[in-house]
Every structure is written in C-alpha cells, then in structure tokens.
C-alpha cells in the first residue's frame, strides 16, 4: 500500500518503521534535511525534504496515488491543513494527529467532516486512557479492552508466591471456577501461545482473557488483587497529565501534580482546580518525600525525559508505592526499565502505531470480517486482533475444533451481542460476533487468515 507520512519526529519515526516493516511503500516528508537523511538511513523508505502544505512537495511525494496520508507533525493546524490538501490532490484516506485539549469533541467532528479527515489521533489522550485502565486494575501491568469492555485481556506478572507457579494450564481450568483463558505468555525475549501442558514459572508475564468481573474474581482468588488507588502523584504536567488527572478527579481520586515549570503549574491549576499543583523538580527526591510519595497509592512519571521517568519510578518503588507507571518512548530504555523492575510502561509512539496499523489493515480488501482493534506485543512479534464477523464469513458455524488453524494462532475470545465467551473446541464463530485472536510471529489482515489452507 502506498502511504505518505508527514512529520518524522518520535511518533513519525516509530510509525514509519512499523509500516515499512509490514511491507508498505512509504514516502516520508519532513522540513529538516538531517531528519530526512536519518529516516532514509534507518528504514527502507523514500525521504523527502519539504513543506507538507506545499502542493509541489506533496505531488512529488506521490500523494495523488497514495491510499493513505498521515500527518504527525508537532502542529495540529498544519496536520489538518496537510490532510485537507492531500485529499484535494487525490489521497484516498487521511489521518491527522490533533493533540490540543482546546479542540473538543464537537470541534473534532467539525474538522473531520469539513476537512475530510478519516481519523484523528491524540497520542496523549490515548496514553492517559491506557494508564487509567491500569489504575482501575492495579494488579495488572497492562489492560486491553475489546467490544466496549465486554472482554478484556489483563497482563500480570507471576510472582514467586503465586499459586500459578509450577502449574500446567490444563490444570488451571479444573482448579478455578472462574471462566478465563491464559492466552499468551512472555518469558524473557520469547512470546508463547501456550498449550495445555505449558507450565508457568516465576517471572512469566501472562495475558488473561475474561470478562471484567471474572478477572476480578480470579485475582481475588489467587491473592493478587489490589484496591483501586485513592491518591495519585503525577510527575510532569504535559497533555497526558491533563487528560489523566481529569479522568481520575471525575471518579473521586486525589491527584497531586509536580511540575518544575511555574507557568505550566498556573495553567494546569486553572484547568484542574480540584488537583493539587506543586511547583518543584521531581528529580529532587526530598520534594517527593515531602509530598507524601510513601503514602500514595500510585506514582505516574509523565515528563518528556525517559531517563527522569525511569529514575523517579525506581525511587517510588523503593518507597513501596503499590503502582508505578513510567512513560518511556525509546524501546531500548523500556527494556532497561523492565529489567530494573518497572513493570508498567506506556509509550505514545507505540499507542499511535497500534491505531494506525489497525486502520491500515482495515483498508485492505478483507472478505468476511473487519479488523476493529489491534494491539502489538513484544515489539510487534505477537499481536492481539479483534475482528467483526460479516455475513459472508466462509467459516461461520464451524466448530473451532474442526477449523484447521495455523500454528501459533489462538482464538482467545468471542463476544456475541454483549455476552463474552471463553471459547472451547465446541464453540463456533457466527456473523455479528466479535472475535479476539492472538497471533505469534505472523500478521493477520482478515479473520480468514487464521485458517491453514
């Protein structure tokens, strides 16, 4: 697929790498020649130095033949205008990054309709939502939701004292009455779609598929359930902090924000009068102590510097804070942070990549299903996909046991109406169902891709 991407910053770079890795024909545009050269050296793409609202530059990039145009510069207004120009020049679909909180839902609807923008992206809001889900499920290191929260995949780490240690998956369903499925296991650098004889070990990161209530009951049963936090300290006062604090305040959580920029403290204090704003440097650990980090239920590091976020989260862990979350953009530092014991890590770049990759897959000529959701695991080595089953799905009504599934494929959940189903071999897929599939080492564009032909 021909895709033109405007803006080669952190988000653009990650997006270019992911889409180029899936075999798409990518042209990258940026006004900085050094950035363009770096992108050209890093990825197998065409780099073009120019202005995204210059028609000659856009035509040279091949926008008129592009199936998709994506604008992810630092300017919301430039992104919207570039998408408008791209559509006028012939691009079939457009995606714009729009981050300013002043552009509310009504404004976005207006812009999308009148500027013919297919999808708008707000990485900071997506990250805030991701952290919010974790805080509502504090026993987890990651929470993914499907079909309007009717089905969830909750990722937890098996601790040494866990009753799951040394037990085979086939024995779990017999031992516990809750309806759940362990759909993937990450052990070291490897991701597995486990069979019934797979034995869990200390340190395994596992994905549990179930309804929200069933997962809650299971976590209580195995002794890993934690209560929702009532007091949260956030370091850094960027856009993600604004969106997250707004969500937390709305459910009655006490929010304290530490920010070194005095003007930003004033701005956020006016925008969030219920939050407590502290003007100070969170890297000065005495400030964190004075503000009660040791008695807080959660600490979230959302500054623009990965290293600061890691160091402050390590300090929070030393202070025995129950839930610690770090925003980390660089994948190499994310690996380092995990090795140091920081379990909850979020990345705006990866979040955006998931959304755009899903949209790109949905643009392909799928027969029988439509991709609704996509999450990448293990830096893209494995994926969780949700498909809406259409009337013409060729394998409707066939039991899962009868289906000749490809290796390393697992049907992890089916949502029929609003009823979640943890599938067994006797279950079938029907038109209208939403089906959640785990795939290791392969890419799915359509639900039919799970079948070995």
Question: Which candidate, 386, 384, 387, places its Cα nearest to that of 367?
Answer: 387
| Pairing, β 93-97 against β 25-30 | unpaired
Which CATH code of 3.30.70.1450, 3.40.50.300, 2.170.190.11, 3.40.50.720 fits the domain covering 137-221? 3.30.70.1450
If you search the block for the tokens 């209530």, which residue do you land on?
213
342 φ/ψ angles, rounded to the nearest 5 degrees: -85, 105
SS3 10: helix
Topology classification of domain 2-121? Rossmann fold (3.40.50)
Provide the 10 A C-beta neighbour count for residue 50.
Answer: 17
* Closest by CA position to 443, among listed 382, 365, 353: 382
Beta-ladder partners of 71:
6, 96
Which has the minimum average pLDDT: 15-19, 141-145, 262-266? 141-145
Tokens of 415: 């949502």
The answer to whether the beta carbons of residues 412 and 385 sit under 8 Å apart is no
Residue 88's contacts (CB-CB under 8 Å, 6 or more residues apart) are none
Residue 104, Cα to own-chain centre: how many angstroms?
Answer: 22
Read off the pTM. 0.88
3-state secondary structure of 343: coil
Of the candidates 232, 219, 221, which has an alpha carbon nearest to the alpha carbon of residue 258?
232
Please report which helix (H) or strand (E) contains residue 259, including its range.
Answer: strand 254-259
Tokens of 80: 């919207």
Least confident of 44-53, 102-111, 331-340, 430-439: 102-111
Mean pLDDT of 289-316: 96
Can you tell me the mean pLDDT for 363-370? 70
Query: Fold match between 2-121 and 360-450?
Result: no
Tokens of 324: 């610690």
Instruction: Specify whether the CB–CB gap between 95 and 356 falls below 8 A.
Output: yes
| pLDDT > 90 in the chain, percent | 68
**Cα–Cα distance between 140 and 129 in angstroms, integer?**
15
- How confident is residue 284, by pLDDT bands cut at 50, 70 and 90? very high
Higher pLDDT residue, 229 or 368? 229
Token match 């900085």: residue? Answer: 32
Q: How far apart are CA 169 and CA 175, in angstroms?
A: 10
Sign of the alpha-carbon dihedral angle for 198, 203, 209, 212: positive
Third-level CATH fold of 360-450: Alpha-Beta Plaits (3.30.70)
DSSP designation for 266: H
Q: How far apart are CA 225 and CA 116, in angstroms?
A: 46
Contact (Cβ atoms closer than 8 angstroms) between residue 226 and residue 323: yes
By the 8 A CB rule, do 197 and 171 touch? no
Q: Work out the widest C-alpha separation in the chain, in whole angstroms.
A: 66
Contact 153, 209 (CB under 8 A): yes
pLDDT digits (tens, 9 = 90+) for 212-230: 899 989 988 888 877 889 9
Task: Give the angle 55-56-57 at the CA atoms, nearest 5°.
Answer: 90
Convert the pLDDT of each residue in 382-406 to its tens digit. 889 999 999 989 999 999 999 999 9
Query: Distance (Å, rounded) from C-alpha 202 to C-alpha 221?
Result: 18
Residues 47-102: tens digit of each pLDDT: 999 999 999 999 999 999 999 999 999 999 999 999 999 999 999 999 999 988 87
In terms of DSSP H, where are the helices of 187-284?
A: 212-221, 239-250, 262-271
Instruction: Please report the pLDDT score of residue 346 as a whole number.
Output: 94
CATH of domain 231-346: 3.40.50.720
Q: Which of 45-49, 105-109, 383-387, 439-443 has the lowest mean pLDDT?
A: 105-109
Q: How confident is the model at residue 297 (pLDDT cuts 50, 70, 90)?
A: very high
User: How far apart are alpha carbons 411 and 400 in whole angstroms?
Assistant: 8
Instruction: Give the strands of the sheet with 181-187, arranged side by side.
Output: 142-146, 151-157, 205-210, 181-187, 190-192
Give residue limits of the domains in the chain. 2-121, 137-221, 231-346, 360-450
């Amino acid at each position: 697929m021909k895709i033109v991407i405007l803006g080669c910053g952190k988000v653009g770079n990650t997006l270019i790498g992911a889409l180029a890795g899936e075999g798409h024909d990518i042209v990258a545009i940026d006004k900085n020649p050094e950035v363009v050269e770096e992108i050209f050296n890093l990825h197998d793409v065409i780099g073009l130095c120019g202005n995204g609202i210059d028609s000659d530059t856009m035509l040279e990039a091949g926008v008129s033949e592009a199936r998709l145009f994506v604008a992810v510069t630092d300017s919301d207004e430039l992104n919207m205008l570039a998408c408008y120009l791209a559509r006028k020049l012939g691009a079939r679909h457009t995606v714009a990054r729009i981050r300013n909180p002043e552009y509310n839902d009504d404004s976005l609807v207006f812009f999308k309709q009148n500027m013919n923008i297919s999808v708008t992206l707000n990485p900071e809001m997506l990250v805030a939502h991701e952290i919010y889900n974790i805080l509502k499920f504090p026993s987890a290191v990651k929470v993914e939701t499907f079909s309007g929260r009717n089905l969830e995949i909750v990722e937890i780490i098996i601790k040494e004292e866990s009753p799951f240690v040394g037990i085979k998956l086939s024995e779990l369903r017999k031992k516990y009455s809750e309806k759940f499925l362990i759909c993937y296991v990450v052990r070291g650098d490897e991701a597995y779609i486990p069979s019934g004889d797979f034995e869990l070990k200390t340190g395994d990161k596992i994905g549990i598929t179930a309804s929200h209530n069933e997962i809650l009951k299971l976590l209580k049963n195995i002794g890993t359930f934690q209560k929702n936090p009532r007091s949260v300290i956030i370091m850094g006062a960027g856009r993600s902090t604004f969106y997250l604090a707004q969500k937390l305040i709305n459910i009655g959580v006490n929010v304290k924000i530490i920010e070194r920029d005095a003007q930003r403290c004033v701005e956020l204090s006016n925008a969030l009068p219920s939050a407590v704003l502290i003007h100070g440097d969170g890297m000065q650990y005495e400030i964190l102590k004075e503000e009660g980090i040791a008695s807080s239920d959660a600490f979230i590091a959302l500054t623009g510097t990965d290293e600061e976020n890691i160091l402050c989260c390590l300090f929070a862990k030393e202070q025995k804070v129950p839930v610690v979350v770090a925003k980390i953009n660089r994948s190499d530092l994310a690996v380092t942070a995990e090795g140091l014991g920081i379990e909850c890590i979020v990345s705006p770049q990866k979040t955006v990549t998931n959304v755009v990759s899903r949209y790109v897959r949905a643009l392909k000529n799928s027969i029988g299903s439509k991709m609704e959701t996509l999450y990448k695991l293990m830096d893209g080595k494995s994926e969780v996909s949700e498909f809406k089953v259409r009337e013409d799905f060729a394998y409707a009504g066939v039991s899962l046991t009868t289906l000749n599934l490809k290796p390393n494929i697992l049907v992890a959940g089916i949502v029929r109406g609003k009823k979640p189903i943890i599938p067994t071999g006797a279950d079938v897929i029907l038109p209208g169902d939403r089906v959640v599939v785990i795939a290791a080492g392969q890419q799915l564009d359509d639900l039919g891709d799970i079948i070995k032909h």
